[in-house]
Structure 1
Amino acid sequence: MSTKTIILILICLTFHPLLGGSQGLPRFNNNTDQESLLVFKSRITDDPLGVLETWNPSSSLCNWTSVNCNVTKQRVTSINLENLGLVGTIAPHIGNLSFLSYLNLQNNSFSGSLPQEIGQLFRLRTLILASNRIRGTIPASLSLCSKLSYLDLSINILEGTIPNELGALSELEDVSFMQNFLTGPIPSSFGNLSSLSNLILRSNSLKGPIPEGLGRLPFLINLQIGLNNISGEIPCSLFNSSSLIVIAMAVNRLTGTLPRDTFTNQTSLTTFFVGGNLLSGRIPPSIGNASSLTRVDLANNSFSGQIPWLGNLPNIQILSLQSNQLVNDGAGGMDFLASLANSTQLQVFSVAENQLTGKLPSSIGNLSRQLSLLVMNNNFFHGSLPGEISNLVNLTLIAFEHNSLTGTILPSIGTLPNLQYIFLHENKFSGKVPESLGNLTYLAEVHLSNNLLEGTIPSSLGNCQRLQLLDLSVNLLNGTIPGDIFGIPGLGKVLNLSFNSLSGFVPSEVGDLNMVQAIDLASNQLSGDIPVTIGDCSSLLYLNMSRNSFQGSIPNSLDKLKAIEYIDLSSNNLTGNISASLESLKFLQVLNLSRNQLSGEVPKGGIFENSTAVSLSGNLKLCGGVPNLGLPKCDSHEKKSGGSKLKIVLAATFASVAFIIIVSMLVFWLVRKKDSDLRAVNEKANSPEMYPMCRQHDLKLATRNFSPEYMIGEGSFGSVYKGVFEDGSLAAIKVFKMGQHGASKSFIAECEALRSIRHRNLVKIISVCSAGDFKALVLKFMPNGNLEQLLHPRIEDCEVEKVVDMNQRLKIAQDVALALEYLHHDCESPVVHCDLKPSNVLLDEEMSAHVGDFGLARILLKNSPNAHLSISVGLKGSIGYMAPAMQNMAWVRGSQREAMSTVLEY
């Protein structure tokens, strides 16, 4: 080697930043790692568990929580922050941790994009960012992490294509991008990932063909690409792979047929999901010999021909062949049922929605005793339902609807102890509804409509306390409706007894069905009055009592059905007026009162404004209403008479009101003169007995069933929603999480604290709701949120940050101080809040402060030598927060000064 060459090499080693001496290298060291982690921490906007509190320069970064270091060089090698509820973004400085080999941020709320700088982590082996809110594209720079073996970016908001450059990661073993918004094809370069064992890309919008090279990967055992738009035929190489254990590519646009030897070489295959595609042809007969199969889904394709022999599937648990064009023509067409007798692990079996015919063989009773779901609906079976089905003691669901089955429903069906769902509708069953159904304590839904069933409805159904849906419509049932049915507390979906020959009255117990959403009693021979108690069915959306012989008036209690959308009372013998209270039903879309004997003036508000939604034909004595209804005008004499009556009523009302006002003023003057203590009057006026109780249903309507869109806050013991009531008024509705330990005590404490206090700077309680396990407080709505939001607004929650000047801060501090002074000194028994912090200081429309959230409050006994124990027993307040005044008993006496210091400090 020449002297000139040696000199050039020495120059390169000296000055080149990657080859030469220390002066050319980036100065990445222990200090760099610390600075990078501190920047990473600064991007965290919420650390609910306080995990990152140890991340500070006062201690060695190798002692920080969730951080591991190299022992000799003290460099960061591992960061594990999964399942901590962190909120923030991933700082690009993460790329400076040059010794990092493991990074796990799974199941947090990281947002923003994945920084390109992550490609600088050339020692990184594991990257787990699943279950966050990361947006943007997958950076191609990840391909520079040449040691990467585990990559999980699933359950995020990633979009764009999968970088083809990732195919260069020769050590990559596990890849998961599932549940994102990725588009484009599966990179053909993935066929070069010779170490790949798991590829999970399901639930995206990928398209294009499946790369042929995937089937030649020697270690690939798990391929999941379902729920995409992948098209084309399945590569033959996948069927020749002996390593694959899971092939899941359901719900795509795959076409073509499956080769006869599809399962011949699949000695390890356990899961084969190709349902929901465009596959056709016959089911490969080799499936019957794939002894390792545990789950097979060929549903929702266009497979045709007969179902092959399935006799060598000892481990099969799920077998779904439904929604195809399978037949059973000729001899042995149903032998597949008998061949499954050896499949003792079978739990789910479906051949629904095919073209199977003939009688169901008794061999159906030889299926696995583990069988839970037996689904054979929408075929052309006839004959009776084999009694041998009672051998399948673990059945939870049987579905034979939409066939032509005849005979009786055998009483032995009531011996299946775990049965929850019965689907036998749209057949030709006759005889009676078995009394034995009452033995099925787990029964949830019974569908027996559109048959030829006769006799009475068995009262034993009242024993099925978990029943949610009962449909016996379109049969030949007679007799009365058993009152026991209306005593089923869980009947919350549908009660449909329409199109039978039922007679008698509707029991008043119908009002006990406060969970039911639909009641259909149409086309029977029912009579008597419509029970007033039907207004107690507070969850009702659909009510049809048409084509019966009901009489009397329309009950005024119908206006209590605040969520009702459909009412049909047509073709009865109803009389009287149409109550104007029906105008208040804001969600009502259809009201059919035709062919009755109603009379009087038709209301004009609410649903009556829409003539297409209201049917009143056949009521010859009705008048008025909106012009589009086409009814005659009401008699003028009646109007005059009615007008004079109205004047008399108004005059009497006016006189009564005037009298009450005068008496009230006199009483108020006497009370004020006798007792000048305004605060005592306020306390008495706000006693709990004065609070009106509200219904859970009303709160559901006000919050659209406690929609997340209406949530304005959440704490340890409850969530706060913005409620919009029917009259347009607003309120804050605090719903307690009764399943949370301590929530019940918090509710009691808050009620106890607020029962005898009233001050303009305390949150006003409007109403309470206590129904079983549901507890809620209805409070005055504060449109300007809380002090925490005002002082530290999140960028994503507001467009313009509000500026709080010193005058406003002083005013808020003064309001809080006045509230605390009142609580500590002017109540009958002093009240200690125990959780005073900015988020519990609420601001009204005039920016006046109100102290709220008394869930941890304590009431001190006056003149008790042990009063201080009420404060000192146990730590009170929020995790990570301690009010300055909690340090000593000066809190009780220095309320104003410390409240000011708390507000000004923030």
Structure 2
Amino acid sequence: MATKTIILILICLTFHALLGGSQGLPRFNNNTDQESLLVFKSLIIGDPLGVLEAWNLSSPFCNWPGVTCNVTKQRVTSINLQNLGLQGTIAPHLGNLSFLNYLNLQNNTFFGSMPQEIGQLFRLRTLILGSNRIQGTIPVSLSLCSRLSYLDLSVNQLQGTIPSELGALSELEDVTFMDNFLTGHIPSSFGNLSLLSNLILMSNSLEGPLPEGLGRLPFFINLQIGLNNISGEIPPSLFNSSSLIVFAMAANRLTGTLPPDMFTNLTSLTTLYLGGNLLSGRIPPSIGNASSLTRVDLANNSFTGQIPWLGSLPNIQVLSLQYNQLVNDGPSGMDFLTSLANSTQLQLFSVAGNRLTGKLPPSIGNLSRQLSLLVMNNNFFDGSLPGEISNLVNVTLIAFEHNSLTGTIPPSIGTLPNLQYIFLHGNRFSGTIPESLGNLTYLAEVHLSNNLLEGTIPSSLGNCQRLQLLDLSVNLLNGTIPRDIFGIPSFSKVLNLSFNCLTGLVPSEISSLNMIQAIDFSSNKLSGDIPFTIGDCSSLLYLDMSRNSFQGPIPNSIDKLKGIEYIDLSSNNLSGNIPVSLDSLRFLQVLNLSRNQLSGEVPKAGIFGNSTILSLSENLELCGGVPGLGLPKCDSPGKKSSGSRLRIVLIASFASVAFIVASVLVFWFVTRKKHPGLSPVKEEADSPEIYPMYRQHDLKRATGNFSSQYLIGEGSFGSVYKGVFDDGSLAAIKVFKMGIHGASKSFLAECEALRSIRHRNLVKIISACSAGDFKALILKFMPNGNLEHLLHPRSEDSEVEKALDMNQRVKIAQDVASALEYLHHDCETPVVHCDLKPSNVLLDEEMSAHVTDFGLARILLKNSPNAHLSSSLGLKGSIGYMAPEYGMGAGVSTAGDVYSFGIVILEMFTRKRPVDNMFSGDMDLQKWVSMHFPGSFRDIVDHELKQNEWRPEYDDGIGGMLKIGLMCARKSPEVRPNMREVSVMIKNVKAILSE
């Protein structure tokens, strides 16, 4: 009965205009308003708060929640239903509310298209439909709402172009279309909107140049068009707009230079976001006089020349000039730093990733007392770090890594009461680690690796009760490991003391580190037993105690490390049997026990059944195990012949002599490393966790001097070769193109990421080589290449093309999802890959997928007021796969990886690249799939899948995977699922296929 009533209402309203007036014109009254509201309610399928339950005939409609009426005529003038969780479509009958001047449906779940009938609302002044799921195009009929002044359609799924007819709305003041799928040019007619003050079009796919007329609008104060494909030069007229307050054009394709007098006329400008474009030339000198500026981001462009004098920026809070090609030549080269002394509101200052040289002046201590983030890494600074840095009493992060700073670390750093993050690695600091670091009660991470620090580890670090990560690797530290650091309750990330000269025992108090994820004590002089209490480190994923002098048995308690993925105890003096209980460590990917004195039968169950993850070489008393280990069979008790015993004695004697000789050679080699003056060659690894050591000569031999016949792939910063070493082992050798800007940063970023993460679906790093301008990574070789070549084989590879069936594609998707789930959710500090694409998905002999290429990876500063720091590191990713929200202050996020994953899924099952020639104008991969989903998705499925016998469950399987891809590739990061949820979805699809 209710359905019939609704239908009757719809019919009546449809013909009301034709039957109601004697002159044939529509005649609307308050009855029409009531009927229109009831139809609107009838199309609502979700009302979680029950707000619309009061919309019934028991009370006047002017008293209904969210409805406001004209007092005299009792006609609806306003509808405000924002933030109520309503779900449904927007009834076209709202167009009959002829007195309506305000309509706000923001932040609900309205779907379907915008009704053309809204154009009938000639009194409408405010239309807010933002944060819904409205699809289709912007109706041209909106141009008939002649009194419209405020229009917000942001965060929806609108497609197509912006109607040029909107330029006729002479009273329009505010336009917000951000975060949709809009394409085409910004209408030049917008230059005629004489009252326009706000134009926000961020995060769409708009292209072409900016309309020249925008710069001539007298009341224009806010222009935000970041995260589009806007190209060309900025119209000169915009630089004359004295009313402009916000100018945000980050993450586009803008070219050209900025005029020297740019800031002379922009007297009201407070916010300038131009990061992530293709701008060049010098930073306008007039910026130093732009006294209204509060936020400036010019990062990730190609600006050159000197950083100008910045002395008249009293209100500046954020100043990011990083990752350009700026220099500071001449005696006045550092004046920009000195000139900021008057900028007392400065909170973030970054000049990272430029070409700045010379010594840091003491005036660095004159920066704002409000400064929180000081970022100057990846330059060429030398000399000492000024002690005056202690004046920056509110600083929470200092980043000077990868420079050439020398001298001692100033003890005055220990007087910075709010300091949380210290990044000083990759320099040449010497002397001891300041005891004063123990005074920093908020200290969370200390990165001092790859320096020349000596002396002992300060026991005062035990006072840093919020410490989560301590990396002191690749230094000259000696003495014992202080027990105090094991009493830190927050220690949950990494303790890396590798490649030092530490001695003594590992304290049994290590059991207190029950939250730690990675421990690396490798390449020291530690001795004694491995403490049995190591088994209490229940969160441990990575354990490396190799290349020390540990003795005694392997503790049985290691079997308590249920989540452990990497164990290296090689090159010690361990003895006794291998504990059978280790077979229960089902997540273990590497178990290296080589070069010890272990004996007895090797277990065969569990992980010991997989010889590829075991390394047991040079344990002469081991026997048995699976055939793949190549060990001799175990003799029965009491049946050893005298000849066998003689052989054992001879082998043991030979091994002892060999060990002594090897020890001498190792000592000579290490000595040469510590004293490079003893040898003209200096080759050392940038990552402290690597083994074995390779020289550049070794890599040349393995690749035929990097011959093209060994080349298996090329990227922006490096070439990858297949390496065949003298012992017959294979590896993938990534050689970085050090002549390309950013290659050195990519190498260091990849080492930094791969040293602290371990997962079965992440590529395994074997070693690294760094010798002057030569840098390379040695990775596990993947015989089945990468996903890119399997989906889109090159013509020369056609004879080895491998078909991917349904189950393999789903399995690859599951493997990649598992890797991202680990990075995002299972690392204490989330890691964002930033460049997920098919060429970075490698496939081993069993077609299991491994994510590689962490050259752009970013480690998020979780639970920190500086969590947005990653955004200052620049836009990351590849065209077609990069999340649209990167830039404009959004910053790197796990949601960005989810977007990239969604694109990869769609590509896997359609075999269409997101940059395919068919995607142009307003068409992209997501829209193309959406147009065929769910009704006709078979039409777009990869022909290789359709050529095989089609099984009924394929419909549900492929449909499910395409749905996952579309969900992940939504333009708005807020509505994307996380990788934990995605993994569950893929498992459900896999279950369907296995039924």
Query: In which range does the TM-score fall when normalised by the shorter chain?
Result: 0.5 to 0.7
Does residue 463 (structure 1) correspond to residue 463 (structure 2)? The answer is yes
CA distance in 2, matches of 1:445, 1:706: 19
Map of 1:12-51 to 2, 5 A cutoff? 21-22=21-22, 24-51=24-51
Offset, 1:87 = 3.1
Secondary structure at 1:390 match in 2? helix
Equivalenced residue count is 635
For structure 1, which runs of at least 5 residues remain unmatched after alignment?
1-14, 641-700, 709-797, 800-906
Does residue 615 (structure 1) correspond to residue 635 (structure 2)? The answer is no
8 Å Cα contact 2:17-2:27 kept in structure 1: no
Structure 1 pair 231–22 and aligned structure 2 pair: CA distance change class (3 A): same
Offset, 1:530 = 2.5
Name the structure 2 match of 1:353.
Answer: 353
CA distance in 2, matches of 1:284, 1:704: 44
Larger Rg: 1
Offset, 1:336 = 1.3
Offset, 1:281 = 0.9
Q: Alignment identity in percent?
A: 84
Does residue 398 (structure 1) correspond to residue 398 (structure 2)? The answer is yes
Secondary structure at 2:326 match in 1? strand
Offset, 1:471 = 1.0
TM-score under structure 2 length normalisation: 0.61
Q: Which moved more, 1:22-31 or 1:383-392?
A: 22-31
Structure 1 pair 163–553 and aligned structure 2 pair: CA distance change class (3 A): farther
Residues 479-524 of structure 1, C-alpha deviations (whole Å, 9 max, x = no match): 2222221222222222111111122222233232232222211111
8 Å Cα contact 1:358-1:380 kept in structure 2: yes
Residues 442-488 of structure 1, C-alpha deviations (whole Å, 9 max, x = no match): 11111111111112111221221221211111111122222221222
Name the structure 1 match of 2:136.
Answer: 136
Name the structure 2 match of 1:264.
Answer: 264
Name the structure 2 match of 1:561.
Answer: 561
Does residue 482 (structure 1) correspond to residue 446 (structure 2)? The answer is no
Map of 1:553-632 to 2, 5 A cutoff? 553-604=553-604, 606-632=606-632
2:506 partner letter: V
Name the structure 2 match of 1:535.
Answer: 535
Structure 1 pair 404–21 and aligned structure 2 pair: CA distance change class (3 A): same
Offset, 1:248 = 0.9
Residues 342-374 of structure 1, C-alpha deviations (whole Å, 9 max, x = no match): 222222111111111111111112222222211
CA distance in 1, matches of 2:823, 2:523: 37
Structure 1 pair 465–205 and aligned structure 2 pair: CA distance change class (3 A): farther
TM-score under structure 1 length normalisation: 0.66
CA distance in 1, matches of 2:531, 2:282: 59
Does residue 301 (structure 1) correspond to residue 301 (structure 2)? The answer is yes
Q: Which moved more, 1:73-82 or 1:16-25?
A: 16-25
CA distance in 2, matches of 1:117, 1:633: 85
8 Å Cα contact 2:16-2:26 kept in structure 1: no
Does residue 88 (structure 1) correspond to residue 107 (structure 2)? The answer is no
Name the structure 1 match of 2:714.
Answer: none
Name the structure 2 match of 1:658.
Answer: none
Structure 1 pair 618–40 and aligned structure 2 pair: CA distance change class (3 A): farther
8 Å Cα contact 2:196-2:217 kept in structure 1: yes
1:179 partner letter: D
Residues 180-232 of structure 1, C-alpha deviations (whole Å, 9 max, x = no match): 33333322222222221111112223222222222122211111111222221
CA distance in 2, matches of 1:332, 1:388: 20
Map of 1:176-575 to 2, 5 A cutoff? 176-575=176-575
Offset, 1:581 = 4.0
8 Å Cα contact 1:402-1:426 kept in structure 2: yes
CA distance in 2, matches of 1:336, 1:253: 28
Secondary structure at 1:460 match in 2? helix
8 Å Cα contact 1:110-1:132 kept in structure 2: yes
Name the structure 1 match of 2:159.
Answer: 159
Map of 1:60-75 to 2, 5 A cutoff? 60-75=60-75
Name the structure 2 match of 1:899.
Answer: none
Offset, 1:330 = 1.5
CA distance in 2, matches of 1:585, 1:159: 51
Offset, 1:602 = 3.5
CA distance in 1, matches of 2:533, 2:111: 52
Residues 247-289 of structure 1, C-alpha deviations (whole Å, 9 max, x = no match): 1111222111111111111111111111111111111111111
Offset, 1:295 = 1.2
CA distance in 2, matches of 1:313, 1:137: 44
CA distance in 2, matches of 1:192, 1:602: 82
8 Å Cα contact 2:175-2:200 kept in structure 1: yes
Secondary structure at 1:40 match in 2? helix
CA distance in 1, matches of 2:520, 2:622: 26
Map of 1:695-714 to 2, 5 A cutoff? none
Offset, 1:585 = 3.5
CA distance in 1, matches of 2:183, 2:208: 10
Q: Which moved more, 1:572-581 or 1:70-79?
A: 572-581
For structure 2, which runs of at least 5 residues remain unmatched after alignment?
1-14, 641-817, 826-933, 936-995
CA distance in 2, matches of 1:204, 1:620: 65
Offset, 1:706 = 14
Residues 582-622 of structure 1, C-alpha deviations (whole Å, 9 max, x = no match): 44434333332222223344444554454433322222333
CA distance in 2, matches of 1:490, 1:22: 81
Does residue 119 (structure 1) correspond to residue 119 (structure 2)? The answer is yes
8 Å Cα contact 1:16-1:24 kept in structure 2: no
Residues 534-593 of structure 1, C-alpha deviations (whole Å, 9 max, x = no match): 333333222222112223333333333333332222222223333444444343333322
Secondary structure at 1:511 match in 2? helix
Offset, 1:406 = 1.3
Offset, 1:246 = 0.9
CA distance in 1, matches of 2:282, 2:823: 50
CA distance in 2, matches of 1:336, 1:135: 49
Structure 1 pair 108–606 and aligned structure 2 pair: CA distance change class (3 A): farther
8 Å Cα contact 2:602-2:625 kept in structure 1: yes
1:385 partner letter: L
Offset, 1:339 = 1.5
Offset, 1:242 = 1.3
2:511 partner letter: G
1:126 partner letter: T
Secondary structure at 2:314 match in 1? coil
CA distance in 1, matches of 2:563, 2:135: 39
* Bigger relative contact order (CA 8 A; separation at least 6): 2
Structure 1 pair 176–635 and aligned structure 2 pair: CA distance change class (3 A): farther
Secondary structure at 2:135 match in 1? coil
2:255 partner letter: T
Offset, 1:23 = 5.5
8 Å Cα contact 2:20-2:26 kept in structure 1: no
CA distance in 2, matches of 1:106, 1:472: 51
CA distance in 1, matches of 2:149, 2:577: 77
Structure 1 pair 525–158 and aligned structure 2 pair: CA distance change class (3 A): farther
1:206 partner letter: L
Please tell me the root mean square deviation across aligned C-alpha atoms, in Å: 2.9
Name the structure 2 match of 1:793.
Answer: none
CA distance in 2, matches of 1:611, 1:162: 61
CA distance in 2, matches of 1:231, 1:274: 13
Structure 1 pair 534–314 and aligned structure 2 pair: CA distance change class (3 A): same
Offset, 1:27 = 4.7
Secondary structure at 1:160 match in 2? coil
2:62 partner letter: C
Name the structure 2 match of 1:106.
Answer: 106
Residues 316-349 of structure 1, C-alpha deviations (whole Å, 9 max, x = no match): 1111111111111112111112211222222211
1:101 partner letter: N
